[in-house]
Amino acid sequence: MINEYSFTKEKIMKDVILEQFGVSRRDAIKQLGALGLLTTTSASTQIEASVSSKANNAKIVIVGGGAGGICVAARLCRAIKNPNITIIEPNDKHIYQAGQTLVGGGIKKASQLVVDEESLIPSKAKWIQQSVKNLDPDIQKIELNNGEIVEYDYLVLSPGMQYDWGKIEGLAKDDIGKDGIHSIYTLEGSTKTWAMIQEFAKTGGNAYFSHPSTPIKCGGAPKKIMYLTDAYLRRQKARDKAVLTFCPASKSMFTVPEFDKAIYEQFHARDMKYNMGHDLVKVDKYKKEATFAYEVQRQGEWDDLLEEYEIIKEIEYITQPYDFLHVTPPMSAPDFLKSSKVIYNQGSSADLKMINADKYTLQHQSYKNIFALGDALGTPFCKTGGSVRKQAPVLVQNLLDVIDGKEPIAKFDGYTVCPIITGYGTVMLAEFDYTGRPTPIVPLDPTQERWIWWMLKVYMLEPIYFYGMMRGIM
């Protein structure tokens, strides 16, 4: 392990840590003050709802016992005196997914991220350990995998996204963790990624890091694991043996221009290469070759009417040999949603196939007794646990108001947070909202890589998640 990571004041202030990351004690004290401000501000996500007795009689069903589902269940159980809440969640283990990048970089162990689902289910809620197979919002009924039917008055959807490994030709989930193909997007995969990075430091070679064209959980994660690979190779004095190339399907590094520019600069400073607009479409695990699709534009015929040449767009393919391939799988809404009436049903783009809820109130556009949050929500970004933390109090207030016959007026502003780990000891905290501009919660230049955000990411976010968010108090 690179370091020992459990949060105590002594550890943060220990000179050995400060020296390791090149931070003076004076700067550390200043930055920790900012961190205090951040966590205090975080607590203000609490929205006080006035709860009428109608909520006691309402049957509320929550689909998904992940970050969003548990966060909402905990808040509802606090707000309603005698709640009638059922959580439908198939897994008996709950994973703190944001920690998987840290496992991939050798900073945490996988076991530190896993707790029994039962320990997070609020005592006043009922848990059905099944998957939803079908949802019919017209008759307010859910069919489970075991054939059981569950009825609801109000429904909260937070089933996350599914990984579509098979959309990459030649690749199946079972290939992850073998023969140089790795991914931090599964817990087991993140442990194996760390083993691979250590091995790669001995052998060197070509490493590719993919980012698909679909919306993904935590848009920064594919880059974070690349930065950590770079940093580890440097520590081992093996960086010159390796070529690291980022291959995103999109043509930009980040949706927010300020962070986009900063990331390009960080890549150049580290000699990290990139092939923009390159979508991983095929893997030949036997030959260890990855094929990427990319668009080219050619000059066509002269158009007399428009007085310009026609532009012809074509897709071409390039196949590259790899020693280490980090795959971020294409993602989509879970299948039961795809076959239901609660998703947007227009266009072909994957973000148009997510839950059709109002992006501010989180209430479904057509079914007013349905609310949604988390990764399955049809918003362009907001696929982070940090967004869920801000969505949950808005959703709970609006749901309680609707039960009480009022209009939902609380609004989610699109807050998204992505702590981009740029090395061991540095993080650029990318925070933004629906305006598409940086929205730093503390008054520090958000494009700077800072030790303080490393402390937040590595030491504080996990306790905030388990002891704050999952208990409905933060």
Ligand X SMILES: Cc1cc2nc3c(=O)[nH]c(=O)nc-3n(C[C@H](O)[C@H](O)[C@H](O)COP(=O)(O)OP(=O)(O)OC[C@H]3O[C@@H](n4cnc5c(N)ncnc54)[C@H](O)[C@@H]3O)c2cc1C
Which stretch in 33-41, 214-222, 319-327, 352-360 sits in contact with ligand X by CB under 6 A? 214-222
User: Nearest approach, Cβ of 338 to ligand X (angstroms)?
Assistant: 11
Which residue number, 165 or 294, has a Cβ lying nearer to ligand X? Answer: 165
Strands laid side by side in the 141-144 sheet: 132-136, 141-144, 149-151
Residue numbers 410-449 binding ligand X by CB under 6 A: 417, 419
32: left (phi over 0), alpha (psi -120 to 50) or beta: alpha
Which residue number, 228 or 417, has a Cβ lying nearer to ligand X? Answer: 417
User: Nearest approach, Cβ of 102 to ligand X (angstroms)?
Assistant: 9
132 scored as a contact of ligand X (CB under 6 A): yes
Distance CA 356, CA 146 (A): 27
Q: Strands 59-63 and 84-88, how do they pair? A: parallel
| Cβ neighbours, 10 Å, residue 294 | 18
131 scored as a contact of ligand X (CB under 6 A): yes
Which stretch in 33-41, 59-67, 250-258, 277-285 sits in contact with ligand X by CB under 6 A? 59-67
Residue numbers 215-234 binding ligand X by CB under 6 A: 217-218, 221
CA 209, distance to chain mean position in Å, is 17
Assess whether 382 carries a catalytic annotation: no
Residue whose C-alpha is closest to residue 374's, from 97, 164, 122: 97
List phi, psi (to 5°) of 230.
Answer: -55, -45
117 near 94, Cβ under 8 Å?
yes
Distance CA 394, CA 411 (A): 6
Q: Which residue is catalytic, options 71, 77, 218, 247?
A: 218
Assess whether 218 carries a catalytic annotation: yes
51 near 80, Cβ under 8 Å?
yes
69 scored as a contact of ligand X (CB under 6 A): yes
67 scored as a contact of ligand X (CB under 6 A): yes
Which stretch in 240-248, 251-259, 276-284, 385-393 sits in contact with ligand X by CB under 6 A? 385-393
DSSP state letter for 206 = E
- Binding track over 171-210 against ligand X, x by CB under 6 A: -------------xx-------------------------
User: Nearest approach, Cβ of 33 to ligand X (angstroms)?
Assistant: 23
Angstrom CA distances, 128 to 29, 55, 94, 145, stand at 47, 21, 15, 11
Which residue number, 226 or 376, has a Cβ lying nearer to ligand X? Answer: 376
Residue 397, SS3 per DSSP? helix
Measured from each CB, the residue nearest to ligand X is: 66
Which residue number, 51 or 70, has a Cβ lying nearer to ligand X? Answer: 70
319 scored as a contact of ligand X (CB under 6 A): no
User: Nearest approach, Cβ of 190 to ligand X (angstroms)?
Assistant: 7
Residue 140, SS3 per DSSP? coil
Which residue number, 135 or 410, has a Cβ lying nearer to ligand X? Answer: 135
Which stretch in 16-24, 153-161, 204-212, 397-405 sits in contact with ligand X by CB under 6 A? 153-161
65 scored as a contact of ligand X (CB under 6 A): yes
Within 8 A by CB and 6+ apart from 28, the residues are 12, 13, 18, 451
DSSP state letter for 117 = G
Binds ligand X by CB under 6 A, chosen from 332, 384, 391, 447: 384
Within 8 A by CB and 6+ apart from 73, the residues are 62, 65, 85, 87, 121, 122, 125, 472
Which residue number, 240 or 335, has a Cβ lying nearer to ligand X? Answer: 335
Residue whose C-alpha is closest to residue 262's, from 47, 426, 448: 448
Residue numbers 71-130 binding ligand X by CB under 6 A: 88-91, 97-98, 100-101
Which stretch in 119-127, 243-251, 357-365, 374-382 sits in contact with ligand X by CB under 6 A? 374-382
Q: Which residue is catalytic, options 71, 77, 247, 418?
A: 418
The stretches of 339-409 forming alpha helices (DSSP H) are: 385-403
Binding site for ligand X (CB under 6 A): 63-69, 88-91, 97-98, 100-101, 131-132, 158-160, 184-185, 217-218, 221, 334, 336, 374-376, 383-386, 388, 417, 419
| Residues known to be catalytic | 218, 418
